[in-house]
Copies of this chain bind each other. A is one copy, B any other.
Amino acid sequence: MSKSSQAGAVAPRRVGVWLIGARGAISSCVAYGLAGIREGLLEPVGLVSEQSVFRQLPLVDLDALVLGGCDVCRRPMTQSAGELVRGRVLPADLVAAVSSQAASFEARLRPGLLDQTDVGLADLDPEAARLGALGVRQQIEHVQNDLRAFQSEHQLERVIVVHLASTEILHTPSPDWEDLGRLERALDRGVSQPASVLYAYAALSQGHAYINFTPSAGSAIPALMQLARERTVAHCGNDGKTGETLIKTVLAPMFVARNLRVLSWQGYNMLGNRDGEVLADPLHREAKLRSKGDALRSILKDPRLHHQVAIDYVPSLRDWKTAWDFVHFEGFLGAQMSLQFTWQGSDSALAAPLVLDLVRFTELAQRRGEGGVMPHVASFFKAPMGATSHDFYEQYRMLLEYARR
């Protein structure tokens, strides 16, 4: 039983979590991990919200969460789990022990919206392809029907929508995105939109809080920021800060504090999961590199900085993201020094607990009527909406201050 149940008295009875990309690796880790914690098989290691400092917040209990979601593929949950077992992320005995919970979760999954630029997918759900071919208003309606059914069927006080689908291509901001009126008219005209925008519109306009854990556009476009403010819906994003960028935003402020001049910072990332496969496509990679690159420049503020980030698809690594960064810097007397680091972590096992944390912080903001962007969760994101700093500890301090208020 999770420690968080102590705060149960003030939390809502049942909260829905709607995972977009529900058959992917992160969602699988969320589902198996949550079940494992509930069954007392796992300790809540990696869950920020389980630390004692956050006990004073009336966060929703982990036991109160009901998982549902959608996906564009039909890959069975057992297959996703099997790959994560072979990939040494999920323990085999955990998968066996919570198989009935996993089956219940799978029974709640619905077809998702196929993004028009999606790259070659195994096991595509023909129903998702059919949905993706409908008009945009119909697609939105479809999502909203699914959310409505999920909420009523499970008697959920609230539903939190989490975008976990593969990175979309980088879109040039459309003039239609500039304000809500223009977006509405574009939707009326049937102008196609990235799936992430449709999902975010569907969620926010129905009053559901929205978390964008990917670098896709989602709720970050001005029209949807406006929608969230007007409807007082909490939302946050973009792009979970789980690995190399996390370490970068931890280390870089030290060079500033010590007045050491970073000459070059090279980051090489390798990963082999579905995310890596999608990012092997240059159009999709562009969106990711954008959200990764800005953080460093924003912290170091040196226009002479040489900075490159590469992401390569290395299938044999599966879910194990391996990154090597090389920092070349100058100190006193012009002496040139270096720091290198190698980060080896399971992408999904790093992301999944942050999804649960964000669900809890977002649910609380929504419950409290704190609509609009949530600057206090900036430490969870590579490109945080509404944040003034990329410095990890400065961001984290905002979360602590929020908790202490």
Contact = CB atoms under 8 A, between A and B. Distances in A.
A254 B392 contact: yes
Contacts of A342: 338-342
A316 B332 contact: no
A175 B342 CA distance: 47
Given A36-B333, A45-B331, A344-B338, A317 B264 contact: yes
A257 B333 contact: no
Interface residues of A, number: 72
A340 to B, nearest CB: 5
A32 B335 CA distance: 13
Contacts of A260: 45-46
How would you classify the secondary structure of chain A's contact residues: helix, strand, loop or mixed? Answer: mixed
B250 A333 contact: no
A94 interface: yes
Contacts of A15: none
A114 B336 CA distance: 34
Contacts of A306: 314-316
A253 interface: yes
Given A306-B314, A315-B306, A44 B259 contact: yes
Contacts of A247: 251, 254, 339
A402 interface: no
Contact of A246 (B48, B94, B254): B254
A346 B331 contact: yes
B314 A328 contact: yes
Contacts of A336: 316
Interface stretch (A179-187, A198-206, A349-357): A349-357
Interface in A248-280: 250-251, 253-254, 257-261, 263-264, 266, 268, 270
Interface stretch (A58-66, A83-91, A137-145, A215-223): A83-91
B257 A29 contact: no
Given A47-B259, A306-B314, A337-B346, 16 more contacts: A42-B334, A45-B259, A92-B92, A246-B254, A247-B254, A247-B339, A263-B316, A264-B270, A264-B317, A266-B270, A268-B268, A317-B328, A331-B345, A331-B350, A338-B345, A340-B341
Interface of A: 29, 32-33, 36, 42, 44-48, 50-51, 85, 88-92, 94, 246-247, 250-251, 253-254, 257-261, 263-264, 266, 268, 270, 306, 308, 310, 312, 314-317, 322, 324, 326, 328, 330-346, 349-350, 352-353, 379, 392-393, 396
Listed from nearest, the 9 A-B pairs whose CB atoms lie closest are A263-B316, A46-B332, A335-B349, A337-B345, A341-B341, A332-B353, A46-B331, A335-B346, A393-B393
